[in-house]
Amino acid sequence: MFNNQKSQIKAKILVVENSQKRSHLDTIATEEPLEIRLVNPFQTVAVTMRTPGADFDLAAGFLYSEAIITSKKDLNSISYCVEPNIDGEQRYNIINVNLKEGLQPNLKPLERHFFTSSACGVCGKASIEALKLRGCSPISNHLTITPEIIYSLPEKLRAAQGIFTATGGLHAAALFDKQGNLIKLREDVGRHNALDKLIGSAFLSDEIPLNNKIIMVSGRSSFEIVQKCIMARVPILCAVSAPSSLAVSLSQQFGITLIGFLRGQKFNIYSGTQRIIDVTFN
């Protein structure tokens, strides 16, 4: 179904430069709420502020990252709410997820109704121990890459950010192969939403697990970002900015190569150094 919400809008603004003012028509990234609902059993599992677009990917990626679904066979359908709102318009801010008949997902982590802002992900998230209880094991593949491949990723990510180029207001998550070729990219006002859209797209295309793949995010690496990569079995995670302490600890325990401050010809390795080869130490 076509979503007629726009990922960007035009707004008249006033620009002040060198103490002179002028009117300007600016392009701004759209931020709208999205409610993700299970149809059977009926339950709202999340309300997140997101940029409209790839909403089905977002819903699938979120549910997969939360271990509510584990394979594409767990989904009967994903659709927008068909009931019009009071203005008679399609309710594109509500997604209905119809699970496979007989599937009884563990909804205990989602007993509370929580609100996810575009900035901070799911607050009060379960700890590292909860991930182990989900059956997540360390990622132990032998993928190796050179620094040159890593150096090339930011420019490729930025070049593919169409909405960011227009608005300057979106995060991105990109999937690369081991040669550094861009496979797909998703954008959103929220860092976690962008990654959920990316992983959800791979999930719906039966590409999970993402073995021998690299993910790069445009912001920092948090616990939630690393957790989603663990669920998708991504061995290498790169970020433009810094990781949090819990992200580093989680990466170390689950065997992820975590790279931060990837800018120009420089980056920091916080865990999984064995996957980066052809490095000379001074």
144: tokens are: 């190796």
The Cα 94–Cα 35 span in angstroms is 5
CB of 248 closer than 8 Å to CB of 271: yes
Name the catalytic one among 120, 123, 136, 238: 120
Structure tokens at 62: 């979120």
Tokens of 161: 């950010």
- Distances in Å between the Cα of 13 and the Cα atoms of 2, 10, 25, 28, 169 are 30, 9, 6, 11, 16
Closest CA to 279 of 178, 151, 146, 153: 146
Residue 120 falls in the annotated catalytic set? yes
Extract the tokens encoding 215.
């993910």
How open is the CA angle 266-271-272, to the nearest 5 degrees?
95
Element (H, E) at 64: helix 55-65
Q: What is the largest CA-CA distance in the chain?
A: 67
Give the helix ranges, DSSP H, for 128-278.
Answer: 128-133, 147-160, 162-167, 191-204, 223-232, 245-254
Give catalytic residue positions: 120
